[in-house]
Amino acid sequence: MIEVDNLVKHYRAGDGSVVRAVDGISLAVGPGEMVGLLGANGAGKTTTLRVLATLLAPTAGTARVAGCDVIRDPLGARRRLGYVSATTGVPDRLTAREIMRSYGRLHGMGEGDLDRRIDRLVGVLDLANFADRPAGRLSSGQRQRVSLARALIHDPPTLVLDEPTNALDVVGARDLFGLLESLRAEGRAILLSTHRLHEIERRCDRFVIIHGGRVAGQGTAAELIGPHGSLEQAFFAAIGAGAAP
C-alpha cells in the first residue's frame, strides 16, 4: 500500500550548500498495518512523509501510494492518501462539519455523498458533541480529531500522520491511537511519525528508525528491543546516541 524505495531528497540551503534531508530510505506498509517512523528532530521523517503526500518531489528513488507513483501519478496518489500534520491547520471560524464539507468539495464530492460521509465520520470519530462548534473553540484533542476527519473525508485506503500527538495530552493521545487502531482494523495502511516512543511501543506493528536521513533500524518492537530492554534504549542504540539515563 505504501512503498518507499531508496528515497533521496536533497534541499539547497540558503547559503548554497546541499542538505541531504533523506538519503536512501526504503520502507513498506501493507494493508491493515500501522508502522511507526521514529527519529529525532531533523532525521528526515517529515520530508519522507511529505514526499509520500506529493508535497515534495524526490531527488531520486521512488515512492508509491496504493500503487500510484507520486511523480508519475500524483493525482492518483492524492486520491488514495489521507494526510494529518502536527499543526492541525484547522480554520478557527469553521465548524467540523464545514471543514469536512470544504475539503470534501476539493475532491469534487457531490453534496449527497458528502452528507453521508460526514454523518459517518461524525459517528465513527465521535465528533457529535462538537461537530457544529467553531474549531477555534475546540481543545487540541478535538482539533486533531477534526483534522483526522478531514484526512478521511474521501475514504482513503492509506493514512500518513506527521507527529499527530505533538499537541495532545496523554488522554488525547490515547484516544487518537484508539481511533487509528480501528482504522487499521478496516484494512487501511497507516504510517505515522513520532518521537514519543512510549506512546507507540505497543500500538504499531513495526517500526522504522531513521537517523541522518538513513534507515538506522527496522522491525517489530520485539525484534528491535532485543537485548536493549526497551524501545527507547533500542532507539538510542540505533542512532548511536548512547543509553538513556
Partner 1 sequence: MSVPDVNRADSDATPLVAAVRSTLAVAAFQLRRLLSWQRLVMAALGAIFPAAVMLAVRRTARLGLDDDLAVLMLYALVPEAVCMLGLLVTMCPVVADELERGTWVHVAVRPGGRRALLLGTYLAAVAWTGAVALLAMLLSLAVMPLPNPLRVAGIFTGLVAISVFGRAALFSLPAVIMPKRALVASVAAALVVEYLAGFLPAVVNQATVSLRLRSLLVAWMTWRQRLPVEMQLLVDPQPPWVQIAAVAALVTVLLTAAAVILEFRQFPPSDEI
Q: Does residue number 16 form part of the binding site for partner 1 (CB under 8 A)?
A: no
In the bound complex, what is the minimum distance in angstroms from residue 85's beta carbon to partner 1? 6
Among 37, 53, 208, 225, binds partner 1 (CB under 8 A): 53
| Interface with partner 1, residue 69, by CB under 8 A | no
Output 50 or 206, the one with its CB closest to partner 1: 50
- Choosing from 30, 89, 178, 226, the residue that interacts with partner 1 (CB under 8 A) is 89
Q: Which of residues 96-125 bind partner 1 (CB under 8 A)?
A: 102-103, 105-110, 113, 120, 124
Residue 93 binds to partner 1 (criterion: CB under 8 A): yes
Residue of the chain from 83, 130, 177, 207 that contacts partner 1 (CB under 8 A): 83
String of DSSP letters for the chain: -EEEEEEEEEEE-TTSPEEEEEEEEEEEE-TT-EEEEE--TTSSHHHHHHHHTTSS--SEEEEEETTEETTT-HHHHHHTEEEE-SS----TTSBHHHHHHHHHHHTT--HHHHHHHHHHHHHHTT-TTTTTSBGGGS-HHHHHHHHHHHHHTT--SEEEEESTTTT--HHHHHHHHHHHHHHHHTT-EEEEEES-HHHHTTT-SEEEEEETTEEEEEE-HHHHHGGGSSHHHHHHHHHT-----
- Closer Cβ to partner 1, 146 or 234, answer by number: 146
- State the nearest-atom distance from the C-beta of 84 to partner 1, in Å: 9
Position 211 contacts partner 1 (CB under 8 A): no
Contact between 39 and 210 under an 8 Å Cβ cutoff? The reply is yes
Cell of 41: 528532530
**Shortest Å distance, C-beta 219 to partner 1:** 26
Region binding partner 1 by CB under 8 A among candidate stretches 53-61, 193-201, 214-222, 231-239: 53-61
The yes or no reply on residue 156 touching partner 1 (CB under 8 A) is: yes
Instruction: Please state, in angstroms and rounded to a whole number, the distance separating the CA atoms of residues 82 and 159.
Output: 5
Which of 8, 55, 71, 167 is the binder for partner 1 (CB under 8 A)? 55
The span from the CA of 170 to the CA of 176, in Å, is 10
What is the binding site for partner 1 (CB under 8 A)?
A: 1, 11, 21, 46-47, 50, 53-57, 66-67, 75, 78-81, 83, 85, 87-89, 91, 93-94, 102-103, 105-110, 113, 120, 124, 150, 152, 154-157, 183, 186-188
